[in-house]
Chains A and B, each alone.
Chain A
């Protein structure tokens, strides 16, 4: 066996190659497939139509998250017209295929990338795919997890493998320490601002360095979540003691992590990456996007730079305008990026004893899973949010994207803890500014984009 130093990526990839084709593609074994109702029924129905069974249904999971209603008392009805069909067809297809489904009213329901780690479905060293681009979130657990299309999901379920060209490797090292009030979201947005939304194309990205090691598992998920915004194939963090402590006792996780296998899941000293990026975490500030791509991100205190004219026109902010103080209409805390318990706690810390500005038309908290919701309620966070004027919802993707359900008049400006600020992402004509839950909370209080450290300092006095 070769003893040359290897990257974590190479270790996981090589261990999963079942064969290599004459044309150079690897047939890579897929350990877990996750589906949701927006794209899952398509894949399962198409498989059934072609008479191909799911070869190992025990390793395929599905959840209803994208278009489910998030209002209390919900059922299969969706605000999106015709959305109910996606739910009922996914349910029927999941049942027929024999896969595990976390249904609308299940205690385990939630957003795919929140539920999978929560239940220990994703594991260090495993390969996990889902027909959802933010599957890379789950790389936070030390897995190789990535988004695919529906045809590839069918392929994985029917054959147990995917035919893949080996990607290149990149390491993004965050040195130093994050300042107070600065989070994993700001790390991701800083990476995008500096290296562009296409910066990771063709690469599997390992996030490393002291500032990454210092992040808790939930924050690592926030960072890995936006690897797809960086055009990376996947983003991941090497598992460590925190990872194994997080997974211990979770439903689908192994009883123990003491096999030598787990200890070797790290990049060897001296291993070479195809590309390296280094960012000093101590330079990072609370970030917010000004435009229509996640790379259009600046520190909250900074001015809008010159970008594509189309982005300025859509968002209604000209170069030179300051982000801080830009009035907003809607505040949203939710999504697979930033709706876990730690996110809600940090937002609640800012909102405690405060109220959203009268100019805010809607303020919404949508927990990432029903388990997160229960845990938050156990700590009384729901009461903090409600007292501050936020609505407290059931779990789902909700306002993270617009499927024809809830939205606002064109031109409305939202501050959102989500990951995409594309034109129309939250509804036709909606102007989305993405930021950390702290920035969302502080901005909701002030009615305008605000650096959360301003309010944190106030609270400390």
Chain B
């Protein structure tokens, strides 16, 4: 029971954290020193349980005009405890100069009175009015409205520059301000001036503030641009234009929240405002004492360099980073060239810029990375890189330089012999800035129409050569195979050859006077020739068989002659005594002639 009571008490204490948190009220100002044409923010912060807070009327403000107010509400939950705060911000403009007091305010919350401190603000007299702080509505540089009900001082557009004479590439800050004393019904349509002859950079942020001109409070939208003349001479910044839709019915309080309701019942009208063009004289940079390596940078810069390593192997890339830092147009800087490095191959790897806008002055840095590849081992010093610029403040050229860097290169290990090729081609492709150089050799000259060989159909006949060669081989091979398989054909083919061989043997016998052998050989050559021709066994061939097998082919006459010659051989063999060389010679000649003629009739 007691435990339950303790727990519920603890829970009640925890959950009532909001109630326990005390309410505090504080007042603060955005600036404690202002000019009498400026305004400031006065904030009353209430923190704690501020679900309900009373309306605060700043009735006791004697030195100040209250222009507007706004409320910001924050809600946080930290360690189980909720905390709320409300900031009520007022925009105040001074009614006079001197040390003015913002009196303390009394606020009653939940029956408890909270009193803020009174605050002192020093308001200076704007003795030298700045371009945006004119005592009277400016006439020359501004355009104004021409609507009937909307007065010409209710809306105007003003353009001004901080300098009207500058050096080429020196910054001019252009300020365009849109003053309005009436509430536009729509977002105004703004067109930028023309910038011919200038390099333009935006200078954010766009500012919105209140300004008092000639006792009239204006709501001001201000944008700034940094302009850099690109060439010497007089250049004109064109007119900025803004089209504003306003209610024709009545003047409205630009800070009133009821304007949109009013506009529902009034007729609207578009008012177009133009700012006047501004002429700027760009003076050329002095030629006298211009450094050789000067490439147009204007401003104030420093240069530094950095290498990623100081001990490398041959072919191992080193990254050398040059960084140019300062104020001026960093985007238009031409990076300085590296000095001649005969012992290194160098490639520009990257070029990055970073712009900064400090106090509406353009500046920043430019980083250029060079990849250096040592060709030989040794100890080298990378000389300092020089960078020259023109400083418009001192009206002189200045040259800054990086420190030399010592690099130790040791002979290459295998790792860096192969990777070199890749690195080179990649880097070169990335940085191709011009066409490649000429070829020194004209090469193989052709006639005018030097079309390649295969465009000529006749060339394709060449392809047929191996095919034809192959077909010939196949044909030959087939014949050989047929011969091998056909005995009769083989005998037929060799018939003459064999016959001639025997006849020449017979002739030797004739010359040797061996008549019997001569007749026998001649007989054999004739009989065997016939047998080969007709694929017959040579043994047992008689006159009748010869006539029977020949069967008129070759013609009968030749067969008659053969039979006759065979008879003569037989006669000679069996009666060799009577033989004379002359008869044998004729027999031999006749036999040879007969075979030749029979061959012809195949």
- Is this pair of chains taken from one and the same complex? no
Give me the interface of B with A, judged by CB distance under 8 Å.
Answer: none
Give me the interface of A with B, judged by CB distance under 8 Å.
Answer: none
